[in-house]
C-alpha cells in the first residue's frame, strides 16, 4: 500500500506560512499535472483550504515520493525548502489512510465536527478524477473516506451542537421559537459576526431579513449580499415590531437599546416574544431589558457558555468517532492487503496444481486402466494433498504481507518459487 501524504495545517503552521503554500483553484490543474508527471508519483490529489494544504499521492517508492512532493511544494510556490520544511508533516501507508479518514470526518479540523471540510475534500477528489490524476489506488481510498465521514456523522453526535458564536445564536433561536420558518430577523449593525449569524438563521428557514446600520449605505450593500431589506437609520422603530429576532453588533461606544426601548418594542409587538442576541463589544443592549416579559436577551458570554458546553459534547463524541476510524482503517488495510496478495496466491496455487496434474498423469500411465471411481478418488486425493501443503505457506504469506516489509518478503517468495502473475 504505497500511499503518502505531505502537507501542513493550522496545527503545524501559522497563517503566513499556510498562505505561502495555498493553491488557488485556478492553479490546481497545473499543479496536479506537474505532480503526476514525476516518475515516482503515479496518482495524486491536492486538498487546499484556509487551514491546510496537503498532497496525497501513490508512489512505489515512499521515501522518494515524499522527497519529490516536498520539492514540488517548494518549487511550485517559489518558497525556499528551508523556510517550509519545519512546518511540513508526512504520513505513509496505514498512517496515511488514517489521516485521510480523520480529515474527511473533520476530526482534524480547527472546529471539531465542522461540515465544510468534507465538501472541500470531495471537490479536491472530483477535480483530480476529472483530470485523470487519480485511479485504482486513490479512488477506492477516497470513496472509503467519504463512507467513513458519513458513518461518523450518522452514528455520533459530533456535528449536532454549535461550536461557533454565530451558530450558537441559531441554536438558541430554535429553542425560543419551535421553528424559524417564517420568522423575521433584524440586524442592528452590519458587522461580520452579525452577518454570519444572519446567514445561519436564513439557512434554517428565516424568511425575512432587515438590516439597520448608522451608515445607511453599508446596510444597503449588505442587504444586496444577503437578499435583505435595508432600513434607514431614522426609521428603526417603524420596523422593529416586525422582527422576531434582533442581532445587535453596531460597534457603538455605548448602549443602543435601553430598557425603555425594550418596553416600547414589546408594546409595538403586542407582547409577542422577541429574541435579542447582543454580540457587540461593548454591549449594545442594556441588560435590564432581560427583565421585560417575552424579551429573551443573550449576550456574547451567554453564547460562549453554549459553545463551551457543546465543545465538551463534541470532544466526547470524537472518542466514539476515533473508534469508528480505527475499525474502518483496519478494514480498508485488510481489504487492500487481500487485493495485493491475491495474484501471488493464485499464481502459487496454479504452480502447484500444474505439478500435481503432471505427476497424476504419470501415475495413471503406470497404473494402467482405471475405473471412473478410481480416477475421481485419485483426483480428490491429490487435490487434498496440495490444499493441505499450501495451507501453511498461504497463511504465512497473508501474515507477512501485513508487516511493514511485507511487500519485499512477498517478492522474495515469488522469486524463490519462480512465480509469474
| Ranges of H-type helices in 293-371 | 300-367
* CA distance readout (Å), 316 to 136, 201, 299, 311: 36, 27, 27, 9
Supply the pLDDT for residue 46.
98
Supply the pLDDT for residue 39.
85
How many domains is the chain built from?
Answer: 3
Same domain, 294 and 196: yes
Tell me which residue of 353, 362, 412 sits closest to 386, measured CA to CA: 353
Same domain, 99 and 200: no
Burial class of 88 by CB neighbour count within 10 A (0 to 12, 13 to 18, 19+): buried
Q: The CATH number of the domain where 230 resides is what?
A: 3.40.50.720
**Model pTM greater than 0.75?**
no
Q: Is 244:177 a contact under the CB 8 Å cutoff?
A: yes
Return d(Cα 400, Cα 398) in angstroms, integer: 6
Tell me which residue of 176, 228, 238, 241 sits closest to 202, measured CA to CA: 228
Render each residue's pLDDT in the chain as its tens digit; 421 residues: 689 999 999 999 998 899 899 999 899 999 999 999 998 999 999 999 888 999 999 998 999 999 999 999 999 999 999 999 999 999 999 999 999 999 999 999 887 888 889 999 999 999 999 999 999 899 999 999 999 999 999 999 888 776 777 777 777 888 788 888 989 999 999 877 778 777 888 888 888 999 999 999 999 999 998 999 999 999 998 899 899 999 998 888 889 999 999 999 999 999 999 999 988 877 899 999 999 999 999 988 888 787 777 788 888 999 999 999 999 999 998 888 766 677 777 888 888 888 999 999 999 889 888 899 998 999 999 999 999 988 888 787 777 665 655 666 666 766 766 666 5
327 assigned to some structural domain:
no
Same domain, 352 and 264: no
103 assigned to some structural domain:
yes
Q: What is the largest CA-CA distance in the chain?
A: 115
Q: Is 93:62 a contact under the CB 8 Å cutoff?
A: yes
Q: The CATH number of the domain where 50 resides is what?
A: 3.30.460.30
Same domain, 10 and 147: yes
Return d(Cα 293, Cα 238) in angstroms, integer: 21
Return d(Cα 65, Cα 57) in angstroms, integer: 8
Same domain, 228 and 351: no
Same domain, 364 and 398: yes
Which residue matches cell numbers 444586496? Answer: 224
326 assigned to some structural domain:
no
Q: Is 45:124 a contact under the CB 8 Å cutoff?
A: yes
Q: Give the DSSP H or E segment for 66.
A: helix 62-77
Q: Is 50 a catalytic residue?
A: yes
365 assigned to some structural domain:
yes
Supply the pLDDT for residue 282.
75
Same domain, 28 and 132: yes
Q: Give the DSSP H or E segment for 33.
A: helix 28-36
C-alpha grid cell, residue 97: 489512510
Q: Is 247:185 a contact under the CB 8 Å cutoff?
A: yes
Last residue of a domain, one of 121, 137, 155: 155
Same domain, 117 and 179: no
The pairs formed by 338-341 with CB atoms below 8 angstroms and a separation of 24 or more are 338/398, 340/1, 340/401, 340/407, 340/410, 341/397, 341/398, 341/401, 341/410
C-alpha grid cell, residue 17: 506560512
Supply the pLDDT for residue 79.
96
312 assigned to some structural domain:
no
Same domain, 101 and 171: no
106 assigned to some structural domain:
yes
C-alpha grid cell, residue 106: 473533520
Count of CB atoms within 10 A of residue 62's CB? 19
Return d(Cα 213, Cα 38) in angstroms, integer: 55
Q: State the Cα angle at 83 between 80 and 86, rounded to 5°.
A: 130
Supply the pLDDT for residue 81.
95
Catalytic annotation, pick one of 15, 50, 309, 376:
50
Same domain, 270 and 378: no
Same domain, 271 and 206: yes
Dihedral of CA 186/192/198/201: which sign?
Answer: negative
Same domain, 139 and 53: yes
Task: Identify the domain containing residue 180 by its residue range.
Answer: 165-305
Last residue of a domain, one of 253, 283, 305: 305
C-alpha grid cell, residue 289: 431589558
Supply the pLDDT for residue 146.
97
Return d(Cα 23, Cα 124) in angstroms, integer: 11
Cβ neighbours for 80, distance < 8 A, ≥ 6 positions apart:
74
DSSP string, 134-179: --TTHHHHHHHHHHHHHHHHHHS-TTSS--SHHHHHHHHHHHHSS-
Which residue matches cell numbers 459553545? Answer: 307
Amino acid at each position: 500500500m504505497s500511499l503518502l501524504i505531505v502537507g501542513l495545517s493550522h496545527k503545524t503552521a501559522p497563517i503566513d506560512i499556510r498562505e505561502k503554500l495555498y493553491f488557488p483553484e485556478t492553479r490546481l490543474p497545473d499543479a496536479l499535472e506537474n505532480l503526476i508527471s514525476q516518475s515516482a508519483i503515479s496518482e495524486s490529489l491536492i486538498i487546499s483550504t484556509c487551514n491546510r494544504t496537503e498532497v496525497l499521492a501513490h508512489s512505489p517508492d515512499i521515501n522518494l515520493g515524499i522527497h519529490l512532493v516536498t520539492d514540488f511544494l517548494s518549487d511550485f510556490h517559489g518558497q525556499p525548502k528551508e523556510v517550509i520544511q519545519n512546518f511540513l508533516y508526512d504520513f505513509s501507508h496505514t498512517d496515511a489512510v488514517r489521516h485521510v479518514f480523520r480529515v474527511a470526518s473533520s476530526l482534524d479540523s480547527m472546529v471539531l465536527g465542522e461540515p465544510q471540510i468534507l465538501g472541500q475534500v470531495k471537490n479536491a477528489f472530483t477535480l483530480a478524477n476529472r483530470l485523470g490524476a487519480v485511479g485504482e489506488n486513490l479512488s477506492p481510498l477516497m470513496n472509503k473516506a467519504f463512507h467513513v465521514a458519513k458513518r461518523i456523522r450518522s452514528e455520533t453526535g459530533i456535528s449536532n451542537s454549535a461550536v461557533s458564536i454565530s451558530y450558537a445564536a441559531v441554536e438558541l433561536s430554535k429553542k425560543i421559537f419551535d421553528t424559524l420558518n417564517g420568522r423575521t430577523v433584524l440586524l442592528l449593525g452590519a458587522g461580520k459576526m452579525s452577518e454570519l449569524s444572519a446567514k445561519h438563521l436564513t439557512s434554517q428557514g428565516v424568511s425575512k431579513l432587515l438590516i439597520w446600520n448608522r451608515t445607511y449605505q453599508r446596510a444597503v450593500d449588505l442587504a444586496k449580499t444577503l437578499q435583505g431589506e435595508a432600513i434607514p437609520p431614522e426609521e428603526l422603530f417603524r420596523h422593529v415590531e416586525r422582527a422576531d429576532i434582533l442581532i445587535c453588533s453596531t460597534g457603538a461606544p455605548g448602549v443602543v437599546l435601553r430598557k425603555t426601548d425594550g418596553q416600547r418594542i414589546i408594546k409595538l409587538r403586542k407582547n409577542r416574544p422577541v429574541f435579542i442576541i447582543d454580540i457587540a463589544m461593548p454591549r449594545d443592549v442594556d441588560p435590564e431589558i432581560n427583565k421585560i416579559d417575552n424579551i429573551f436577551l443573550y449576550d456574547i458570554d451567554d453564547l460562549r457558555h453554549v459553545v463551551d458546553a457543546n465543545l465538551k459534547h463534541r470532544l466526547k463524541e470524537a472518542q466514539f468517532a476515533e473508534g469508528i476510524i480505527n475499525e474502518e482503517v483496519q478494514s480498508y488495510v485488510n481489504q487492500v492487503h487481500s487485493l495485493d496478495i491475491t495474484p501471488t496466491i493464485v499464481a502459487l496455487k496454479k504452480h502447484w496444481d500444474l505439478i500435481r496434474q503432471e505427476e497424476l498423469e504419470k501415475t495413471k500411465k503406470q497404473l494402467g486402466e482405471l475405473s471412473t471411481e478410481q480416477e475421481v478418488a485419485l483426483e480428490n486425493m491429490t487435490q487434498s494433498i496440495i490444499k493441505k501443503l499450501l495451507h501453511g505457506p498461504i497463511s504465512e504469506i497473508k501474515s507477512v504481507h501485513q508487516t511493514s516489509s511485507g511487500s519485499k518478503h512477498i517478492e522474495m517468495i515469488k522469486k524463490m518459487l519462480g512465480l509469474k502473475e
